[in-house]
Structure 1
Amino acid sequence: MRRWLFLVLLCPIQHLFAESGIEIRPALDLYTEPTELQIEEILKGSGSFHRSDEVAPNLGVLRHPVWVRFTLEKGLPPRLFLSVELPSIDQIDLYTEKDGVLHHTKTGRTVPATLREQEDRHHTFSLPYATDRENVYYLKVASEIGIALPVVVRDEEAYYRNARRDTIVQGFYFGWIAVMILYNLFLFATTGEKGHLLYAVTLFFSNLLFQLSLNGFLALYLFPSLPAVSRELHNYIYIFSLISSSALAIHLLATKRHTPRLHRSLQIGIALACIILLFSLFLPFRMINQALDHLAAVMLLLFFSSGFMCARAGYRPAVYFFVGFGAVMVGALLSLLQAMGYLPVNAVTRYAFQFTQSIEVILVGFAVADRYNLLKTESERAWSRARVQEERIRALRQELSLAGRIQGRLLQTKLPENVAVRHLPSAVIGGDLYHGHRNERGHLTLLLADVAGHGLPAALEASMLFVAFREARGGTPAQILRGIHEILSPVLPDLFITALIVEIQEKRMICASAGHPHCLILSRDQNLVLRPPVRGRPLGVGERWSETIIDLKPMDRILLFTDGLIETVARDSDEQFGTDRLRAELARTASMDLQSAADRLLTSFILYAQSEPEDDATFLLIDP
């Protein structure tokens, strides 16, 4: 049963490809001299014909018409069809004598399809034929693209069988291309991958429209009464085929990353195609077409080379691209060499381009899909890395928050009522440190320090400084600095901290500065701000420090601050807050109580900066 079913299904295919009927490829006599002879002169013997050695002679690109003569013997079926199976020929005139009358018909790409004898993509005539004698026919062939002469004479049975076979082959090819275009548009709509859109556009121009034009379907079905339009459109389709193919190669192969030189060459090719597009508006069709043929040969070589280089570099989609465009390069070169007259016209050269394009469609489709899979895999890996990084950042934030709480506890020193503090860290934790206590002599001792940098490293050093200060706080300010240095320098080889330690007594203030000169004294009764000469090297640079004694008056107010307060820049300018502005703001607080004065200074600073400070800013305001 299966065998009979197989035979039933196979019979139509066997019938389609069975060789039956009459098919003749007549011997052709050619007259190729560059002269404009008319048929009357040809019939009088003015032209010198020579017999062609080829079954389908290829004459290449000629600027003048060619005359062809062939003879059919008597005794053939009365209904015959003559086909010149090259749709790109511009015009073919057929002349023959029957019953003493000269018959003339014409067809070709420049002849409207509505005026042709047969609805055929090839140029086909219904031959006037007398069965009782030899019949001589003359063809005048002219074309700007190239002249090849695959002349075939068939009887009615062979002609329609060949037409059906050609329709099925072409229908399969164009149906396959249409399905691939829609499929890639669907993939683009669902995945958003740009490669699918570029591939669909390339298929539309290079594989669909270009082949429709090259194989005569554009003039036959889309513009049957406007042959000039379909002819001129051919070059424009050709140009956009080159541009879209180049854009696909650049995107698919990532040439900018893998082959920078070839990437620039492909960009130059696109630019040249655009220039040719502009020139096509006023230059002859033949000149533009020949320029495109040469550019296409170069671009195919670039595609092939780019695919090879990227494949050799280990880029997997390039392997499919290389093999696919390698195949289409062979087919295109065969087609170009045939069009230029270097190869004969036969089934191989006629269908090689379409056949290799079918292979290329499959392989480049694999390349686009493979590239999408690679991008998807890389995206998943990047997402995984981002998740890990996000977890690390979350953990770091938790650590920073914990460190900030610890540092906050260090800074929660209970200061006397005559001391006000304001602290603005640039990060969750900062490098500024302040502390105050009363020493064994009953005097208030204050520390204000600024560790280099900010963030977690600065906070850790500030914490170590706090511990060292508590260990060394029994002496005078200079002795305390010396003790801090001796504790920290062995464990912090890159120690660099500026600090100011003051001991406030009844009528004077003793200062020891380790590179921290930021001290101002406001004489409230005179509304005068003084800056005492406090000097010294930072911790980590100096080893001994001197003390400065400053006499105080009953109405004096002391301001100790870090450099973040005066070096902060306004958001809309490059000007710093500065010492002069700070002195002016401090003078305006002369009549205010301590806490109000501290709030006024902080508000002035924030309004000036209008953003988070880039460095920690801290100040202590003291009424002795």
Structure 2
Amino acid sequence: MNGKNIGSILFLVGHILIFGNSKIYAEEVIVERINIQNIDQSPIYLAQSMLVFEDPSNRLDFDTIRTPNFENQFIKVPSSKEAFNFSYSKSTYWLRIPLENTDLSAKEVTFVISYPRLKTLDLYFQSSKEMKKIQSGYSVPMSKRPYQSRFFVFPILFPEKTEATVYLKVESPNSINIPIQLWNRDLYDRHEINDHVIQALYFGIALAMVLFNLFLFFILKDSNYFLYVLVVISTAFTIASHNGISSEYFWPNSPWMDQYSVNFFISIVLVLFLIFMRKLLNTKQFTPRLDRVSLVFIILQIVLPICYILSFESFVKIIVLSHTLTSFWILLVGIVCSFKKERIAYFFLLAFSFLFLALIVSTMRALGLIPTNSFTIDGPQYGSAAEMILLAFALADRYNSILKEKEAAEAQVKSNLEKSNLDLEEKVKERTDKLNRNLNAMKRDLFVARKIQENSLIIDSKLITELNLEYRYLPVSEVGGDFFDVVLLKESKYRILIADATGHGVQAAMITMAIKGLYDNIKTFELPPSKVMEIFNEEFMDNFVSLNSLLTALIIDIDLREKKIQYASAGHPAAVLLQKEQMLLLSKTGRMIGLKKQIHYESSELYFEPKDRLFLFTDGVFEAFNAKEEEFGEESLYHLFQSTRNLNLAAVENHLLKTLQNFLNGQDRQDDLTILGIDF
């Protein structure tokens, strides 16, 4: 495919994302009533037999749409044999189909919608004998659904010698795909078992790849194997979110995760794949210009998911388009490296081609460009499995190359031992130069890590303005163990987190970045800070107790309208509220995070007035020791805050940093330093 064709495809996808819509245009038809007698051997695909009514207002209820006024507004719309595909739409869709059971006995039937990302999915079964309403969709907790499955399943007892009309109400902020089938209940139960076997095989392959390559990583100390493990794990989570396994087992009661998880995990996969590609193909050396562009895509796939979470409707199509562009870019880099005749690039290109095809199929189905059927639904899973296996072959080939290089090096060493001392000195010099280059590469990697961490701590400029916020973040090394977050909960109410992991440097930074991922999932919960802190502690103990790390944290909710502060502190240094006549300390309300499970945290609240000032900080601000082993101390910090009331926040924080520097008198800081100031 040449560049012109690729550009045309990208233009078409972008045009549909930005200007496309999912309005229904079709002519009215009459659908004959379907007899359910034939479902004992195989399921019936209902899509091409159903009539559809689109409700852009989202206000009509079941009693309204079944009135004679709306009878003729149900129309036949184009669909594949297996499913409807309305792409991204803000409308509510009503589907209707007439059925009949001519048998002399009642039948247990099951309606199955094999697409797990529909928020509202209600089924109405209306016959002369009864009227049933069954609610489902990912907004309904798994325990309250009529049939607990990764798909939406509606069991119905269809009375004998009965005619019935079935209605479906569908609404979702995600792409609206409706693959609908009618099954015999027993037949579907057997199919469900077979389906779980297939899923177990896929995730079993993924687990085997993870364990084997993790074992190689510990033996060879080659980061490529660890990056591959991360790629496989993130891909498996993406597939689990895509096909509903996560909804069934990991977060059965989290509509938020069902709505956001797939695109979020795809971004994680692409970020890890870009890092893996840069490392495996050594693009820094062979294609430095392309490597710089890859860094831009990495940043893009870090920033866009944050925007996507903050504003779903504004960024959902943008993030889907970015996935396509990033995939095209990885494919292009693989092609370029293949033309440079890098052996490893051939394996990489072949492996990513399968993942690329899977991602394109998923994206085009979500946008309504291709029909929804068993291939387009399960295609990403098959593609990712092929990609995992082929990448494993690539690493195996690389390992073989390393062995050959090692054997050649050993032969060269034997030859060098027979040479003169001068030759030996030259070889030592060459080795030293190589070590220096590797050291410089590690320094550059640390610099990139610092930039990534700094970018993760960037606060929306709008929030900074609204809160009159000023902050300083100074890690003691390239990366640090402090982090903070500011988010708008609702109009005039903000939530601030500041936390400090034990230790500092790369280890603490990795822990804080992982922990920040946990906090991002719960930070917008409209719960008191104490409850959020308790959830945070439970998540930390469930996921990171093996790290033997502890964390102090302070969560503060600020309501600018009610002039109220509500907070919970997990062993964190007390924040300082400066008022006209006094200074208040926001003392700890519970123990550090990571000590044990089921820690109870208290919430405290207080009120502020205009011109009050609030400071939040980590212990690195006052636990500074000079050459005489004297500590700067909390009292000195409090005195500095009070004596600088006449200065603006930026001047206060700059003065604090200068005072600490003078106190240390050339001595290095011992801990990371973070301070946030707010003027009310």
- The TM tier, using the shorter chain, reads 0.5 to 0.7
- 1:157-206 Cα shifts (integer Å, max 9, x gaps): 32122212211111111111111111111110111111110000000001
Q: How far apart, CA to CA, are the structure 2 residues paired with 1:280 and 1:163?
A: 34
For 1:120, give the aligned amino acid: S
| 1:331 and 2:367 are equivalent in the alignment | no
Partner of 2:311: 283
Distance in 2 between residues matched to 1:270 and 1:164, nearest whole Å: 40
User: Residue 272 of structure 2 corresponds to which residue in structure 1?
Assistant: 244
CA distance in 2, matches of 1:65, 1:50: 15
Counterpart position of 2:122: 93
> Corresponding residue for 1:25?
45
Corresponding residue SS for 1:369: helix
TM-score under structure 1 normalisation?
A: 0.57
Mapping 1:109-148, distance limit 5 Å: 109-148=138-177
Cα separation, 1, equivalents of 2:298 and 2:90: 29
Matching residue's letter, 1:39: F
Cα distance in 2 between the residues matched to 1:281 and 1:49: 35
Decide whether the 8 Å contact of 2:210 with 2:229 is kept in 1: yes
CA RMSD of superposed structures (Å) = 2.3
After TM superposition, give the deviation of residue 113 of structure 1 in Å: 0.6
Does 2:296 match 1:274?
no
Give the deviation of 1:156 after TM superposition. Answer: 1.8
Residue 60 (str. 1) matches residue 82 (str. 2): no
Provide the residue aligned with 1:183 in structure 2: 212
Partner of 1:168: 197
**1:306-455 residue pairs with structure 2 within 5 A?**
306-386=333-413, 388-389=415-416, 391-394=418-421
Deviation of the 1:110 alpha carbon: 2.1
Q: Which residue does 1:82 correspond to in 2?
A: 111
- What residue is the counterpart of 2:31 in the other structure? none
Unaligned runs of 5+ residues in structure 2 are 1-38, 426-680
Partner of 2:322: 295
Instruction: Give how far 1:244 is off.
Output: 0.8
Letter in 1 for 2:43: E
User: How much does 1:133 deviate?
Assistant: 2.4
Q: What is the DSSP-based 3-state SS (H/G/I as helix, E as strand, rest coil) of the residue aligned with 1:50?
A: coil
What SS does the aligned partner of 1:167 have? helix
Judged with a 3 Å threshold, the aligned counterparts in structure 2 of structure 1 residues 170 and 397 are, in CA distance, closer, same or farther, namely closer
TM-fit CA distance, 1:304: 1.5
Question: For residues 375 and 423 of structure 2, what CA distance do their matches in structure 1 show?
Answer: 69
**Distance (Å, rounded) in 1 between the aligned partners of 2:194 and 2:217:** 35
Alignment partners' CA distance in 1, 2:353 and 2:260: 29
Shift of 1:33: 4.3
* 2:80 is equivalent to residue 39 of structure 1: no
Residue aligning to 1:260: 288
Residue 386 of structure 1 deviates from its aligned partner by: 5.0
- Local SS of the residue matching 1:110: coil
Q: 1:257 to 1:80 in 2, by over 3 A?
A: same
What amino acid maps onto 2:177 in structure 1? Answer: A
Query: Aligned partners of 1:386, 1:397: CA distance in 2, in Å?
Result: 10
1:192 maps to which residue? 221
CA distance in 2, matches of 1:378, 1:154: 59
> Is this contact kept in 2: 1:96–1:138, CA < 8 A?
yes
Any conservation in 2 of the 1:253–1:306 contact (CA below 8 Å)?
no
Query: Aligned-pair distance for 1:279?
Result: 2.2
| Letter aligned with residue 253 of structure 1 | L
- Distance change (3 Å), C-alpha of 1:157 and 1:21: farther
Tell me the residue number matched to 2:520. none
Shift of residue 371, structure 1, vs aligned partner: 2.2
CA contact (8 A) 2:40 2:184 kept: no
Where in structure 1 are there 5+ consecutive unaligned residues?
1-18, 399-624
Deviations 1:390-433 (A, max 9, x none): 553526689xxxxxxxxxxxxxxxxxxxxxxxxxxxxxxxxxxx
Q: What corresponds to 2:75 in structure 1?
A: 50
Bigger Rg, structure 1 or 2: 1
User: Residue 69 of structure 1 aligns with which residue?
Assistant: 96
Match of 1:209 in 2: 237
| Distance across 1 between alignment mates of 2:123 and 2:297 | 42
Change (3 A) 1:393 1:104: farther
What is the deviation of 1:378? 3.2
Which AA in structure 2 matches 1:67? W
2:154 partner letter: F
**Equivalents in 1 of 2:259, 2:75: separation in Å?**
32
Q: How far is 1:341 from its partner?
A: 0.8
Listed one character per residue, the Cα deviations across residues 554-573 of structure 1 (whole Å, up to 9, x for unaligned) are xxxxxxxxxxxxxxxxxxxx
In structure 2, C-alpha distance between the alignment counterparts of 1:189 and 1:46, rounded to whole Å? 70
Change (3 A) 1:73 1:319: same
Q: Distance in 2 between matches of 1:156 and 1:107?
A: 18
Write the deviation string for residues 328-382 of structure 1: whole angstroms up to 9, x where unpaired. Answer: 2222211211111111111111111111111111111111222233234334434
Q: Is the 8 A contact 2:117 2:258 kept in 1?
A: no
Distance 1:274 1:102 in 2: 49
How far, CA to CA, are the matches of 2:191 and 2:77 in structure 1? 25
Percent identity (aligned): 24
Q: Name the counterpart of 1:223.
A: 251
Deviation for aligned residue 1:234: 3.8
Letter of the 1:24 counterpart: I
Query: Does structure 2 conserve the Cα–Cα contact (< 8 Å) formed by 1:177 and 1:203?
Result: yes
Residue 129 (structure 1) shift = 2.2
Instruction: Measure the CA separation in 2 of the matches of 1:296 and 1:376.
Output: 37
